[in-house]
Structure 1
């Protein structure tokens, strides 16, 4: 058993005091290794949590004798002479990161993601863990782990402990509902949150039941939605073993349409991860290796399919209408076609490169999003399987088979396993799909439009009304009254004369001041443009060339006229009458 104790002396400093106690076997010959996780499941990049560790002390727990130790990497420590001893490790952890993967301490709450803050003893990751929290007497504890005693949590191993965020607060709200015989707990931290509990619980119950019906049961005994509702704008969610943390704001607008739809979307998405990544897990992550990157080629499955189902199931469960679903789908389309990176990197390679630069803009046109293109590829696959089998089979069947073969057995799957299951469900070779859209960079527009027609819908291309984007191929942003170029479409007219970060000053002698589009919309064959480039004045000749810059805006829309088969397909796909 590894024992952890978390307390705090002055919440205004944001520092937690952490202790861990570990028994080292007498026969141990190597030094005791202590590892702090270098990353967290749900975000596949190294995060260097050790930056938050202060003042490490190691001692014999029985005699309080200091034990010598040394740091061997940025997040690993070695303790010599620990054999046969009960070792106590003390340190401070800086809890001042309010997002769904962070930790936070102030006078109103303790919010902790253990994966950030708790070291583990190498070789003892599979041992049971106990976490005791020193909390004020009127504070309430929300966590997916069972409580052995007040404020004492029990985990089967370090992995389960690391994957169990908690919130302790005197003001946290709690409600629950049942779906498929499983208790679901909804926790809300944030005094400003005005929650319409009857509506929220009814909507959550509806999409939970839809997911349970899809998979045939939940992999865990209960589930906890841990919500941080903030007084300022924010959006983030992270999945865990039997819980999720969702951070949203501003809290007073929670039940307004714009923010409430975000709450529904992220909550449905994160619950879906309970199957798709927590239970159905890539082979490279069975088990997690917290000390280094866990490269895997299948994040387009873990995140792309989940992004698709996160919004789709809200429509299928009648929490959202088809029109509302199409609004979200159109947003995914816009984000996918917002740059040219999809021409240069496949979904499978982008999965690997999450560890490189998957969560930041990066250099222009280098990569594609496993979330956005992954969701569109999942939609294409779902509609293709449905068309092949008259809607008697779908992507649902692929997921169910993955759950039976891998989720329920604890075996990890590979990209070859996924391709095999897809082929078995489709009943035909699907190599073209994988070659083009998963391992290749083929465009999705034509096959996606064709597939949408089978369910009475279409992919509509709308002209890009922005002159700078549609005619010339560049995008700008106004910062402190400065019009700066942020992105240039490859091989466009803008690419021949501009560079990113150019400040546009004047067009044909007219000062640019919130009038860029009108100045570029005179239908002249070319324009004289003055820019500041690296604080030097440059004048260039910008040639008009429609159709070479940014492409059209794509949206999914219902066909004006659909035949009976298309109408029936729409109903079987979305669960709504056409």
Structure 2
């Protein structure tokens, strides 16, 4: 399989693509465009951005192509062993899951525009980019000159590309893993600060999980002059769009928060994946009930790793906890859906406001129930067991062999770590809809924290730790990483 990608007129924002399919041995060739993308569990209908499509033989003769579904086409091959599909794609939206091209930037998410052939998704792909010679390319794919290589379609569409003449990169290495931080925008990154803090939280995650799934990892950041906050996880990279580019403390807090969150996804969802998502079916919804694990636990750990690594202080961490609490209790504290129901219904309306008091956020409530579980495990084992053990077991049993876990698998692992049934947790936190204030404050009491609901309905988190709770607080937030950190280097490219 081969893709050739050009941009004839950058001002038009159109990608021009030629998809070559070799070894064709059937009378009709059916081509499918994905209807959704990993990390965003809703139908997105990328086919609406294709303006023209045509099919040709190796010799250039036109072949018949007809649309047989909203994002599916059939080509009459006429005995040809090689078929070329020529089409264009309008790439004019900037967020962490789209594609965009202009005179200064190529930003490609292959999931938006790459066609595939049923039954041939595991074959290797070669991608030729007709980019300006001054451009540098950031991607998790293997690259040789202007060509990229993917071992299969699943890797291709989970590996975005960011390319320009002004992109900058800083690097560091931990436990034999090469990390790159790519920055595209008009800001002047403080590389010493960025690489120090990124290496700290990366080391903390590696120390907690034991091994990293990949040999290299790329933090790809597109920094805008306007306010923005969006990140998407990928196989060995993340795509982040942030703004404004004022480089103030709020900017760095956002950069660190989203980057730590997305890095943990390299384990939790990329490899520790719900069994319903193995393999991805890109033609329709892939319903699953455990997004509260995939996103809730990741949201909880994203900031926890930052405070464990010494990147956030206690006050900064309490501020982030307050954010989750405010967003949950002020927006959906009395919602009628459970976490299981809202996980399933992501495909329906999970990324929009929706009607009042219906759904809960798998991110915010998911993070709070992860906190409740973690502190419960710690309290009843004097910190000898925690949610860390749950995540490590999921990694060893389901992530490394890449076999997918079920809701029942998750429940079994949690209760194995707890050493007891946890019916109260599943019924009250996961399957139930009761308000969480009581359970949350019961858990927070261990570490001297209390959530307060003020007279105006606002949420505040108070720290009133005595000697005993202060010791529990310290053990909860203590680092797991070794004293030494990785080697760092920055290249302003």
The root-mean-square deviation of aligned C-alpha atoms, in Å, is: 1.2
Structure with greater Cα Rg: 1
Partner of 2:121: 125
2:329 aligned residue (332, 337, 341): 337
Q: Distance in 2 between matches of 1:46 and 1:83?
A: 35
Provide closer, same or farther for how the CA distance between residues 89 and 313 of structure 1 changes in structure 2, counting only shifts above 3 A: same
Q: Distance in 2 between matches of 1:115 and 1:389?
A: 45
> Is the contact made by 1:126 and 1:156 (CA closer than 8 Å) also made in structure 2?
yes
Matched residue SS, 2:77: coil
Partner of 2:475: 572
Q: CA deviation at 1:285?
A: 0.8
Higher relative contact order (CA 8 A, sep 6+): 2
Query: What's the CA shift string for 1:12-60, capped at 9, x where partnerless?
Result: 000010111112442x36x211011100000000001001111101011
Structure 1 residues 270-349: aligned runs within 5 Å? 270-340=262-332, 342-349=334-341
Partner of 1:218: 212
Partner of 1:58: 55
> Is the contact made by 1:160 and 1:241 (CA closer than 8 Å) also made in structure 2?
yes
- Which range moves more in the overlay, 77-86 or 223-232? 77-86
2:189 aligned residue (187, 195, 198): 195
> Is the contact made by 2:233 and 2:266 (CA closer than 8 Å) also made in structure 1?
yes
Query: What's the CA shift string for 1:313-345, capped at 9, x where partnerless?
Result: 111111001110110110111110123464300
Query: What's the CA shift string for 1:148-167, capped at 9, x where partnerless?
Result: x2121111100000010001
1:391 aligned residue (383, 388, 393): 383
Structure 1 residues 369-384: aligned runs within 5 Å? 369-384=361-376
Q: Distance in 1 between matches of 2:349 and 2:419?
A: 37
Q: Give the gaps of 5 or more residues in structure 2.
A: 480-493
1:34 and 2:49 equivalent? no
Matched residue SS, 1:338: helix
Structure 1 residues 365-444: aligned runs within 5 Å? 365-444=357-436
1:234 aligned residue (215, 228, 243): 228
Matched residue SS, 2:330: coil
Q: CA deviation at 1:235?
A: 1.1
Q: CA deviation at 1:84?
A: 5.0
Q: CA deviation at 1:555?
A: 2.7
Structure 1 residues 456-475: aligned runs within 5 Å? 456-464=448-456
Q: TM-score under structure 1 normalisation?
A: 0.81
Q: Distance in 2 between matches of 1:327 and 1:299?
A: 24
Q: Distance in 1 between matches of 2:250 and 2:333?
A: 29
> Is the contact made by 1:24 and 1:32 (CA closer than 8 Å) also made in structure 2?
no
Partner of 2:488: none
Partner of 2:163: 168
Q: Distance in 2 between matches of 1:10 and 1:44?
A: 33
Q: Distance in 2 between matches of 1:60 and 1:394?
A: 60
Provide closer, same or farther for how the CA distance between residues 313 and 342 of structure 1 changes in structure 2, counting only shifts above 3 A: farther
Partner of 2:467: 563
Q: CA deviation at 1:178?
A: 1.2
Q: Distance in 1 between matches of 2:335 and 2:7?
A: 51
Query: What's the CA shift string for 1:349-371, capped at 9, x where partnerless?
Result: 10011000000011111111101
Q: TM-score under structure 2 normalisation?
A: 0.95
> Is the contact made by 2:372 and 2:443 (CA closer than 8 Å) also made in structure 1?
yes
Q: Distance in 1 between matches of 2:326 and 2:107?
A: 35
Q: Distance in 2 between matches of 1:281 and 1:5?
A: 32
- Which range moves more in the overlay, 351-360 or 80-89? 80-89
Q: CA deviation at 1:437?
A: 0.9
